[in-house]
Structure 1
C-alpha cells in the first residue's frame, strides 16, 4: 500500500463503519451457518474490523463463539480494543498472524473495495480458513438501483471515487477510499475463481440513502443484484489451498 493510502486510512476522520443494518444481516447469515454445524465454539476473524462498531452489533447474534478483530490500522485497533480482542495483521502472503486452517469463519465487511490487490487478500483469507470454513463478505454494489439511473444521466455512481482529496461528479460528501467496485455477477465470479463456493448472495440497504428513499432501498434488497450492498456467504472449497 502506498504511503498516501496508509496516511488516508490512519486518519481518524475517515469513516470505518457502514451502518448497523448490514452488520445485523451479515451476523444472522453467519449465525445460521454456524448453528447448522453443531454447538462447537467457532473462531471468527473480523478482518478489517475498523473501530469495532460492526463487531459490537454482531456479537449478540454470535454468543458462544470467539470473535477476534483484525486490522492493520493502529488507530482503528485502539478503538476496537474497547469492544473485542484485536490483533494487527495485513492481507498479504502470511500477513495474518494465524496458522493455516485455524479459523472457522472470516467476516470481511466493506474492505475488498478498498484494496489494491484483492486477489492476494482472498488468497490469505483462504489460507487461514479451514476447509469448508465460512466467508461473510459485504461490499457496495456498483449496479445498485440508483447507480443505474445515475449512469444513464452521465453522473458518477455512488460509492465510486476518482480522488482521495475530494468528491467529483457523484452524490455524497465523504471521501471513503474506494478503489474497486463489483456487481453481483462479478463478485460471484471473483470468489469462485479465488477458491470459494458461493452459498448465498443477498442484499442490504445503505445507511446513506436519503431518508425519503429508504423504504424503497429496503424493498429492493429482495433483488440482490439491485441492492445497495451485496452480502455474500461463501465457503472455502475443499482442496483450495495456496494458488487456485
Structure 2
C-alpha cells in the first residue's frame, strides 16, 4: 500500500512547485487589504501564521515600517524562501504550541490558515495565549456562503471551497464569529474581502464576498 503524503510534505511540494513560479500570486489583492488593516491596529510586534514566502510581511512593512514580524509556517520549503520576516520557524498547529512567550505579541494574523488545521479552536487558543491583553487577532477564511459557492450547490455540484481536499473546515460569518468568541476574544469586526469591486465588502459581505475577515481583541 502506498504511504500517504503528510500535510507538511503536501505543502512542501506546492512551495517547491507552482507556488515558487514567478507570478504565482500575481493579482492576489488580499495582502494589500490586510496590510491596511494591520497598519490601523499599529502593532509593534506581530506574528504572521502561515507566512509562506513572507509576501504579506513585506507588504505590511511597506505600510507600517518598524513593525517586528515573526513568521511561521508548516512548510519548511516556504520558510526557506521567506523574506521580510524578522524571525521564522516551522510549526504544526495541529500538534505544536507556538514558540512565543505568553502575552508577548500585539497582533496575530492568520490569513487562509484555520480552515487547514484539524482543530481550529486549538490554534485560536494559542493565538489568545501569545497575545498581550488588548492585543488583536486578524483572521481570514474562505466564505462558504459566497453567492458563487451557493450557486454551485444549487446546480447539484460541490462548491469548490469545500471540494478542496486541503480544507478540513468551512466557515460562514456566524460560524467564524462563534469559533473565535468561544476562545475568549471580543469580536471587533467581521467583514468581507473582494478580489475585485472592493466596495462591495461594505454591503452584503455575507454573500457578496468570497473571503471573510475577522478582527478580535484579547481582553
* TM bucket, shorter chain: 0.7 to 0.9
- Please give the alpha-carbon distance, in whole angstroms, between the structure 2 residues aligned to 1:219 and 1:153: 28
Q: Would the aligned equivalents of 2:72 and 2:91 in 1 still touch at CA under 8 Å?
A: yes
Q: What residue ranges of structure 2 are gaps of 5+ in the alignment? A: none
- Please give the alpha-carbon distance, in whole angstroms, between the structure 2 residues aligned to 1:220 and 1:57: 23
The answer for the alignment partner of 2:192 in structure 1 is 203
The answer for the alignment partner of 1:231 in structure 2 is 213
Q: Would the aligned equivalents of 1:107 and 1:137 in 2 still touch at CA under 8 Å?
A: yes
Give the number of the structure with larger relative contact order, counting CA–CA contacts within 8 Å between residues 6 or more apart. Answer: 1
- Please give the alpha-carbon distance, in whole angstroms, between the structure 1 residues aligned to 2:66 and 2:138: 18
Q: What residue ranges of structure 1 are gaps of 5+ in the alignment? A: 35-40, 164-176, 207-213, 239-244
What TM-score comes out, normalization by structure 2 length?
0.85
Within 5 Å, give how 1:1-244 maps onto structure 2.
4-11=6-13, 12=15, 13=17, 15=19, 20-34=28-42, 42-80=44-82, 82-85=83-86, 86-91=88-93, 95-161=97-163, 163=165, 177-206=166-195, 214-215=196-197, 218-222=198-202, 223-226=204-207, 227-236=209-218, 238=219
- Please give the alpha-carbon distance, in whole angstroms, between the structure 2 residues aligned to 1:162 and 1:144: 15
Give the Å deviation of 1:161.
Answer: 2.1
Q: Would the aligned equivalents of 1:201 and 1:232 in 2 still touch at CA under 8 Å?
A: yes
What TM-score comes out, normalization by structure 1 length?
0.77
Q: Would the aligned equivalents of 1:77 and 1:88 in 2 still touch at CA under 8 Å?
A: yes
- SS at 1:10's partner residue? helix
The runs of at least 4 consecutive aligned structure 1 residues that moved more than 6 Å come to: none
- SS at 1:44's partner residue? strand
